[in-house]
């Protein structure tokens, strides 16, 4: 009896390797890797490394290595089938009926994969032909370089020609239909090319093999964007566009963004503004959320600022809450109304886009804000319904400790809003402030946050202020231990790497649990306070501001 490759890939995608190994081995996180004492030989110094990105472990002491299945086989003495079952149980994936793999189906699937690869090569060649002139002009207008076109294997589907090309290569008609490359006419059952006069975006699996295509119409054909139909190699709800490119950029410590479309993924990647993934025209599914978390523990979801974007953000939050677990979350970035990441990068530049990403709200903040827009919170009945809906959503979190933590946060915010109303902060008919602060915004605290923003954006200036920064107790001065923790993390990071730039330091702070402070440091309030985004200020002004802020702190 055997499991299909698709089932095994699905099981692997649902659970991280560190979660499997961490049940028995104490692992310590180091960047994108985890380390610990090897479970396969006795050692006193950790030499066992776990890489969640690759789904692979390796011991530099004894040479043991493998994936989640091989780990379960070695550690629990299981055979392959038993290890797959055990992993599926841990991932919460039901075991399918076990039947022998049909060699005919297996061969058919292999033929489909080969046909898709051949089609991708054909489409890339066609982009250089005279027929693709309009497509090339469109891509050039979008600012895509030859290197970017090659990186994403972008091509062009002519009005006809693929079917004949693949048949001449020895592929049969049934393979072309199964692969979603051709359709059959209802009139005479003849074959026609599924994609015609469209720009082609190959969709690849995590191993880099082409499994489907997305396509943009060049003329008036509808729909404007068209995906391959689901088939033996492709299930739309379980795939994200741009996986290979995103994985490579996450390794370079770029933030991971989830955007809406092909061009957003390509534009973000080409501008080196982040790593980017996109669902294929649908809301994020549970499977896709699990895939995103395999690359990054706290990705940023990007949504338009209009009503449709707000609704999409709320739907995403509602889908994510039930599957939250320790160390996994998201942040929400709201784009200006009517603009997507591609527009912002083209019209306003990389720094403006990075500022939006840096000010992304935490999941709790986004939940509070998005839900508040659904109710009249100035009215007692509306406010009561708002509170109840928040509590009901938190109850959907399946992990007990995570549910309790989010419940505490929501109750804190509810208490803050009630206190604001009692003190006259909002009167009848006037909407109350919907973002109650986690801590009193004293003048000292605000100055400390401003200082952290400047230090994070300009780590090269830290050396000139190191002594006074190390002696200042930000927790005592600002009434918030998180400020002192963030300051220490900044100083430690710069000591370890004197060449650290602002983007890398911000990513490091996000990775080490300081997202909420980062949101305050790079939010709109801070931009207004400093007169410009912190990262855009000249070094001389940064030094003057830091000195002024230090001088104004209580002694």
**Model confidence over 402-413: pLDDT tens digits?**
888 888 889 988
* CA 498 vs CA 362, 449, 458, 545: distances in Å: 29, 22, 12, 22
Q: What is the 3-state secondary structure (H, E, C) of 417-435?
A: HHHHHHCCCCCCCCCCCCC
Q: Which residues pair with 210 in a beta bridge?
A: 204
Residue 241 has a pLDDT of 96
Q: What is the pLDDT of residues 237-266, one digit of tens each?
A: 889 999 989 988 887 778 899 998 899 999
pLDDT at 432 over 80: no
Mean pLDDT comparison of 211-215, 250-254, 523-527, highest-scoring range: 211-215
Strands (E), 17-89: 28-30, 33-36, 48-51, 56-59, 65-66
Q: What is the residue-averaged pLDDT of the chain?
A: 85
Closest to 81 in 3D by CA, of 63, 101, 98:
98
**40 contacts: CB under 8 Å, gap ≥ 6:** 59, 62, 64, 74, 75
Using alpha carbons, list the distances in angstroms from residue 422 to 413, 418, 419, 431: 14, 6, 5, 14
pLDDT of residue 157: 97
Q: What does the radius of gyration of the chain's CA atoms come to, in whole angstroms?
A: 26
Q: What integer is the mean pLDDT of 107-117? A: 92
Query: Coil, strand or helix: which one is 192?
Result: strand
pLDDT at 433 over 70: no
* pLDDT score for 98: 61
Condensed to tens digits (0 to 9), the pLDDT of residues 275-305 reads 999 999 778 888 899 889 888 888 999 988 7
pLDDT for the residue 541: 85
Q: What is the pLDDT of residue 427?
A: 41
* pLDDT for residue 434: 45
Band (2; pLDDT cuts 50, 70, 90): low
Closest residue by Cα to residue 393 from 491, 334, 482, 320: 320
Phi, psi of 377 (to 5 degrees): -75, -5
Quick one: pLDDT at residue 480? 75
Q: Where residue 216 falls among pLDDT bands split at 50, 70, 90?
A: very high
Q: Which residues contact 500 (CB under 8 A, 6 or more apart)?
A: 459, 493, 494, 508
Burial class (CB in 10 A: 0-12, 13-18, 19+), 139: buried
Per-residue pLDDT of 80-90, as tens digits, reads 888 888 888 88
Confidence of residue 555 (pLDDT cuts 50, 70, 90): low
Q: Are 483 and 549 in contact (CB under 8 A)?
A: no
Residue 429 has pLDDT above 90, yes or no: no
* The dihedral formed by the CA atoms of 222, 223, 229 and 234, expressed in degrees to the nearest 10: 140
Question: What is the rounded CA–CA span in Å between residue 230 and residue 282?
Answer: 14
CB 334 within 8 A of CB 291: no
Written as six digits, the tokens of 537 are: 């200020």
Q: Could you tell me the pLDDT band of residue 100, with boundaries at 50, 70 and 90? A: low
- Angle at which helix 243-250 crosses helix 286-295, to 10 degrees, equals 30
pTM above 0.75, yes or no: no
Query: Quick check: 21 and 50 in contact, CB under 8 A?
Result: yes
Alpha helix stretches (DSSP H) within 432-473: 443-457, 462-471
Mean pLDDT of 442-447: 74
pLDDT value for 437:
39
Does residue 64 surpass a pLDDT of 90? Answer: no
- Beta strands of 218-310 (E only): which ranges? 225-227, 256-258, 275-277, 300-303
pLDDT in the model for residue 441: 44
Q: In this predicted structure, what is the pLDDT of residue 524?
A: 67
């Amino acid at each position: 009896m055997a499991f299909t490759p698709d089932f095994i890939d699905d099981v692997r995608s649902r659970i991280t390797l560190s979660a499997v190994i961490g049940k028995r081995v104490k692992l310590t996180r180091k960047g994108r890797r985890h380390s610990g004492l090897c479970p396969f030989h006795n050692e006193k110094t950790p030499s066992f490394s776990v890489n969640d990105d690759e789904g692979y472990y390796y011991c530099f002491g004894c040479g043991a290595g493998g994936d989640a299945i091989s780990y379960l086989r070695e550690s629990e003495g299981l055979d392959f089938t038993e290890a797959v079952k055990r992993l599926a149980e841990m991932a919460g994936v039901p075991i399918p009926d076990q039947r022998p793999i049909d060699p005919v189906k297996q061969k058919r699937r292999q033929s489909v994969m080969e046909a898709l690869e051949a089609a991708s090569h054909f489409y890339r060649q066609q982009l250089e032909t005279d027929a693709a002139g309009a497509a090339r002009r469109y891509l050039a207008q979008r600012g895509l370089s030859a290197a970017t076109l090659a990186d994403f294997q972008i091509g062009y589907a002519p009005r006809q020609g693929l079917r004949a090309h693949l048949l001449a290569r020895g592929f049969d008609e049934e393979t072309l239909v199964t692969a979603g490359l051709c359709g059959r006419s209802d009139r005479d059952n003849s074959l026609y090319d599924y994609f015609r006069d469209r720009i082609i975006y190959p969709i690849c699996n995590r191993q880099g093999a082409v499994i489907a295509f997305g396509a943009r119409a060049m003329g008036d054909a509808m729909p404007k964007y068209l995906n391959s139909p689901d088939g033996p190699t492709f299930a739309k709800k379980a795939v994200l566009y741009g996986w290979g490119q995103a994985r490579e950029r996450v390794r370079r410590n770029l933030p991971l963004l989830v955007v809406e479309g092909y061009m957003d993924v390509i534009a973000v990647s080409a501008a080196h503004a982040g790593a980017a993934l996109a669902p294929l025209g649908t809301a994020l599914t549970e499977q896709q959320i699990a895939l995103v978390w395999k690359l990054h523990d706290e990705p940023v979801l990007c949504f338009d600022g209009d009503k449709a974007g707000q609704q999409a953000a709320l739907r995403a939050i509602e889908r994510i809450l039930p599957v939250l677990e320790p160390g996994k979350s998201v942040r929400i970035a709201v784009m200006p109304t009517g603009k997507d990441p591609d527009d912002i990068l083209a019209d306003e530049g990389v720094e403006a886009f990075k500022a939006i990403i840096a000010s992304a709200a935490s999941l709790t903040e986004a939940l509070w804000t998005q839900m508040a827009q659904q109710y009249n919170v100035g009215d007692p009945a509306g406010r009561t319904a708002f509170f109840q809906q928040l509590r009901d959503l938190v109850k959907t979190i399946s992990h007990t400790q995570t549910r309790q933590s989010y419940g505490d946060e929501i109750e804190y915010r509810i208490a803050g809003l009630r206190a604001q109303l009692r003190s006259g902060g909002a009167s009848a008919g006037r909407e109350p402030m919907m973002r109650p602060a986690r801590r009193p915004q004293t003048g000292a605290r605000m100055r400390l946050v401003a200082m952290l923003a400047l230090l994070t954006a300009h780590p090269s200036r830290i050396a000139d202020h190191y002594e006074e920064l190390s002696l200042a107790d930000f927790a005592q001065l600002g009434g918030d231990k998180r400020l002192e923790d963030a300051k220490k993390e900044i100083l430690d990071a710069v000591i370890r790497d004197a060449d650290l730039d602002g983007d890398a330091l911000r990513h490091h702070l996000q990775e080490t649990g300081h997202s909420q402070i980062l949101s305050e440091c790079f939010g709109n309030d801070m931009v207004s306070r400093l007169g410009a985004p912190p990262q855009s200020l000249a070094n001389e002004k940064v030094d003057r501001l830091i000195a002024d802020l230090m001088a104004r702190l209580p002694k």
